[in-house]
Amino acid sequence: MNQVPRSHLVGVALAPVALACGLLAAGCARGEAHAIPTGEQLYAACESCHGARGEGNVELSAPKLAGLPAWYLTRQLQRFKDGTRGAHPDDEKGLRMRAMARQMMSDAEVEAVVTYVAAMPDVDVILTLPEPDLNAGQADFAACAVCHGEKGEGNESIMAPRIAGLNDWYVAAQIRKYRTGIRGGAEGDDVGAAMREMANKAVAPERINNLAAYIQRLPG
Amino acid sequence: MISWLLPQASTFASTIDGLVLLIAVIVGFWLIVAEVVLFGFIFKFRARDGIRGQYVSGEDKSQKQWVSYPHYAVVVFDIIIIAAALRVWNEVKVEVPPADEQIRIIAQQWSWTFVHAGPDGKLDTRDDIRTVDDMYVQRDRVYTFELHARDVVHSFSVPAFRLKQDAVPGRAIRGWFKPTLEGTFDIQCAEMCGMGHGLMAGRVHIGSAAQYAAWMTNLTKIGAAGTAMAPTLMADVAAHDHAGTAGGTR
């Protein structure tokens, strides 16, 4: 029987050690290079529902994000993360978004993805609510315009986001959630509480779709 | 032994660990025996100068027994494992003890909703208490659960309980557990349920009777009561919360 050269045995013995060192070095290198992912990279987690251009996806109940201001996006992501929004047992879609928001691990990651989304050009969305009475919607919008502006352009100083051009189905769903406390009912959510009150006073349940359709058509 | 790695926090946890250990010992023992025999033969019949390799047809009784005896062993040990597994199945799935309390578990992408029965101990009454991702139970009480899924297949898994049960949309699946340790333990989804599957974590809080009462009182104060909203309003929101049906058309 041929003898295996001693040098080969040493090589075989050292191979696992070399492999372990290599893996360790790779891990260390990754650690050094571990920087905050770019907004585009982070948005990959959002893209499958909200679309590559932030256009939203009605089939997944994912509203459009394009056109929303950075302050509002930041605030909503933080609220989803801390459970102020999307933690009500009846908020099926909110519960889904709450889990996804946790993927933004730090404030820096939130800032990065928000900067990316806020830079997206606004996109038009399709109308989904059937035969709305836009005159009735316009009449009810008067109460909303006090905070959100005549054109739905929003007012950051009072935490009123831009609502012009939002998906009609999304606006209608949110008004219903505010009315029932599914949204805005969390402890300490003062802005939500105010919005709840407005949603209950400003529009009757049977006129919500009209208002939502009118808001979608606002120029902003 | 497994409890060194993971606490046994339910009555049947040690039974299931015993079964896992039994299987591990049987399979591990025979794995070692088989490998020793394999490498022993490799060494014994290694290539030697001047000796030609033999073709073994495996027809002699002395040769066949190296195959037939292990087969008999597999059958015998399979029967032992099946008998032990049936005993565990009987304890966990068949002999369900009388419930002290009920709890409803609703899985959805990617959260858990728990409906606690509240002070009256019955579900679907006004004092029900709902929580998201946090389940509260009392030590040494038997809980029967009713497991639902809102959207896709999930699996309710509490490793410390050694409990894992699939949740299937459209079905109410029942089971039980009796917590035996106080503390907080992980709940996880054990069935791939979409891109947020890994984020679907929850916690089970096990406390004494006094702790449990305090939790329920606190949860009631902060408005976790399940019937806070009128059923008609809930139905209205639910009907419109699906974009595809918002208003009926797109």
Identify the CATH number of the domain in which residue A64 sits: 1.10.760.10
**B231 → chain A, closest CA residue:** A180
Give B12→chain A minimum CA distance, Å: 30
Mark whether A92 and A133 lie in a shared domain: no
Residues A203 and A215 in one domain: yes
Read off the pTM: 0.81
Per residue in A150-172, pLDDT (tens digit) is 999 999 999 999 999 999 999 99
Positive or negative CA dihedral for A135, A140, A143, A147?
negative
What are the tokens at A199?
Answer: 């949603």
Q: Which of B49, B222, B247 sits opposite A130 (nearest CB)?
A: B247
Mark whether A130 and A216 lie in a shared domain: yes
Q: Is B111 on the interface with A (CB under 8 A)?
A: yes
User: In this structure, which amino acid lies at residue B31?
Assistant: L
What count of CB pairs under 8 Å joins A to B? 108
Same domain flag for A204 and A133: yes
Q: Indicate whether A92 and A164 sit together in one domain.
A: no
| Shared-domain flag, residues A101 and A177 | no
Q: B14 and chain A: CB distance < 8 Å anywhere?
A: no
* Domain edges within chain B: 2-47+56-94, 101-240
When comparing pLDDT for B223 and B61, which is higher?
B61
pLDDT of residue A40: 93
Partners of residue A90 in chain B, C-beta under 8 Å = 229, 234, 237-238
The verdict on B229 touching A (C-beta cutoff 8 Å) is: yes
One domain, residues A73 and A117: yes
Residue A21 within any structural domain of the chain = no
Q: Lowest-pLDDT range, A122-136, A140-154, A163-177, B8-22?
A: A122-136
- Asked whether residue A132 falls in the same domain as residue A219, the answer is yes
* Angle, helix A92-101 to helix A70-82, in steps of 10 degrees: 100
> CB B196 to CB A173 under 8 A?
no
Architecture field, domain B101-240: Sandwich (2.60)
Pairwise CB contact (< 8 Å): B234 & A180: yes
- Model pLDDT, residue A5: 57
What SS3 string covers chain B?
A: CHHHCCCCCECCHHHHHHHHHHHHHHHHHHHHHHHHHHHHHHHHCCCCCCCCCCCCCCCCHHHHHHHHHHHHHHHHHHHHHHHHHHHHHHHHHHCCCCCCEEEEEEEECCEEEEEECCCCCCCCCCCCEEEECEEEEECCCCEEEEEEECCCCEEEEEHHHCEEEEECCCCCEEEEECECCCEEEEEEECCCCCCCHHHCEEEEEEECHHHHHHHHHHHHHCCCECCCCCHHHHHHHHHHCCHHHCCCCC
Q: Is B169 on the interface with A (CB under 8 A)?
A: no
CB B141 within 8 A of CB B181: no
Domain residues for A179? 124-220
In this structure, the answer to whether residues A117 and A138 fall within a common structural domain is: no
**Total count of domains within chain A:** 2
In a domain, A18, yes or no: no
Q: Is residue A147 part of a domain?
A: yes
Q: How confident is the model at residue B230 (pLDDT cuts 50, 70, 90)?
A: very low
Residue A14 lies in a domain: no
Length of chain A: 220
Which pair of structure tokens corresponds to residue A82? 């801390």
Q: With respect to residue A201, please indicate whether it lies within any of the assigned structural domains.
A: yes
Residue A52 lies in a domain: yes
Higher pLDDT, A125 or A177: A177
Do A107 and A56 fall within a single domain? yes
Is A201 found in the same domain as A181? yes
Q: Do B247 and A89 touch (CB under 8 A)?
A: no
Instruction: Return the closest-CA partner of residue A152 out of A39, A69, A78, A75.
Output: A69
Neighbours of A35 (CB within 10 A): 7
Q: Do A96 and B111 touch (CB under 8 A)?
A: yes
Nearest CB to B132 within list A58, A95, A170: A95
- SS3 assignment for A161-215: CCCCCCCHHHHHHHHHHHHHCCCCCCCCCHHHHHHHHHHHHHCCHHHHHHHHHHH
User: Where among A88, A122, A156 does a domain terminate?
Assistant: A122
* Domain final residue pick, A73, A105, A122: A122
Q: Would residue A25 count as lying in a domain?
A: no
pLDDT per position as a tens digit, A38-97: 999 999 999 999 999 999 999 999 999 999 999 999 999 999 999 899 999 999 999 999
CB contact under 8 A, B111 and A169: no
**Of A98, A173, A187, which is closest to B111 when you measure between CB atoms?**
A98
Question: Which one of B110, B229, B246 has the shortest CB-CB distance to A99?
Answer: B110
**A88 and A151, same domain (yes or no):** no
Hey, is the C-beta of B221 within 8 angstroms of any chain A C-beta?
no
> What's the DSSP call for residue A75?
H
Complex ipTM value: 0.76
Of A65, A92, A122, the residue at which a domain comes to its end is A122
Give the sign of the dihedral formed by CA B235, CA B241, CA B245, CA B250. Answer: positive
pLDDT range class, residue B245, cuts 50, 70, 90: very low
Q: Would an 8 Å CB–CB cutoff place B49 in contact with chain A?
A: yes
**Chain B closest CA to A62's CA: distance in Å?**
8
Q: Does A98 map to a domain?
A: yes
Q: How confident is the model at residue B227 (pLDDT cuts 50, 70, 90)?
A: very low
Residue listed under structure tokens 């918002």: B246
